[in-house]
Amino acid sequence: MSKCFVNQDRVQKQPQEKGQPPTNPVPSLLRDLETRFTASQNSKNAVGMKQYMRNQFEFYGIMSPGLRSIAKEVFAAQPELTRDQALELLLEAWQKPNREFQILATNYAMKNASVLIGTDIKSSMHSLDTIQKLIVHKSWWDTVDMLAVNVIGPMVATYPDELGRVMDRWIDDSNMWLRRTAILHQLKYKHKTDSQKLFRYCLMRSEEKEFFIRKAIGWALREYGKTNRKEVKEFVTEHQETLSNLSVREALKHIK
């Protein structure tokens, strides 16, 4: 678990009896979160949040500052999670009906991306399989984009050859959110961006009618344009007839 969640003055870890296997903290952690969420629910906020998300998810109605505060206190009272426990937490949180659990799990994954990546490609591939499940279930931009940029991105940067081939599959996947993830995963790479891969992905998906794909193309190009304006402008100019108007407009938003 990320150290930013831990207040050393408040954590009191019980010593484990010799010879006893360590207790899995995930069930207790989820129970504590559910108790705190229930106690903090706000029905008025919940209605507005549900409407904003097109009535796709249920909400407790907890605003972001309250959600962060609850997470900090609950995680501080538990021992740090191993990689396997962290993956279990993510999957279990994704099964909960209220969106706050998926938001919390996404924030946890972002803060603990290094734990999920692990120390070798096998560990990272195992974590990637789990994150893929999160992307394709209960999918919407609020979780998908954060996972794409802040979890998948660092994973691929750590193992660009092996996981880069996974992105090559995702850009052609039937699931729109995986295609969007492939387009967006380099969003924070800046000078380390593989521009040829970015441009290739954009062209592969340029004729799609799906709003979220067109928007992702424009967003990815606009972000890389902050690092290399000339290259992005030349690419968009050359392929302006192929790219959608939305993608072109977004890509050139800050480029004259």
Return d(Cα 85, Cα 91) in angstroms, integer: 10
For 15-25, what is the mean pLDDT?
64
Give the model confidence (pLDDT) of 41-69 as tens digits. Answer: 999 999 999 999 999 999 999 999 999 99
Q: For the residues of 111-167, what is the DSSP string, one character each?
A: HTHHHHH-SSHHHHHHHHHHHHHHHHSS--HHHHHHHIIIIIHHHHHHSHHHHHHHH
Task: Tell me, yes or no, whether 79 lies in a domain.
Answer: no
Task: Tell me, yes or no, whether 212 lies in a domain.
Answer: yes
Structure tokens, 239? 């392929």
The residue behind tokens 């009906």 is 97
Confidence of residue 5 (pLDDT cuts 50, 70, 90): very low
Task: Tell me, yes or no, whether 24 lies in a domain.
Answer: no
Mean pLDDT of the chain: 93
More confident call, 4 vs 205: 205
Give the model confidence (pLDDT) of 93-120 as tens digits. Answer: 999 999 999 999 999 999 999 999 999 9
- Using the Cα atoms of residue 38, residue 103, residue 93 and residue 57 in order, give the sign of their dihedral: positive
Structure tokens, 209? 């009618």
Return d(Cα 57, Cα 53) in angstroms, integer: 7
Residue 21 has a pLDDT of: 57
Return d(Cα 71, Cα 37) in angstroms, integer: 10
Residue 136 has a pLDDT of: 98
Task: Tell me, yes or no, whether 230 lies in a domain.
Answer: yes
- Secondary structure (3-state) at 4: helix
Residue 256 has a pLDDT of: 78
For 3-18, what is the mean pLDDT?
39
Task: Tell me, yes or no, whether 193 lies in a domain.
Answer: yes
Residue 19 has a pLDDT of: 54
Residue 114 has a pLDDT of: 97
- Secondary structure (3-state) at 58: strand
- The whole domain housing 212 covers 186-256
CATH number of the domain bearing residue 232: 1.25.40.290
The residue behind tokens 């129970």 is 31
Structure tokens, 153? 């991105």
Confidence of residue 158 (pLDDT cuts 50, 70, 90): very high
Q: Flag whether pLDDT at 78 surpasses 80.
A: yes
Residue 96 has a pLDDT of: 98
For 78-103, what is the mean pLDDT?
97
The total number of structural domains in the chain stands at 1
- Tell me the pTM: 0.90
Q: Flag whether pLDDT at 4 surpasses 50.
A: no
Residue 17 has a pLDDT of: 47
DSSP state of 7: -
Task: Tell me, yes or no, whether 199 lies in a domain.
Answer: yes
Confidence of residue 91 (pLDDT cuts 50, 70, 90): very high
Q: Flag whether pLDDT at 128 surpasses 80.
A: yes
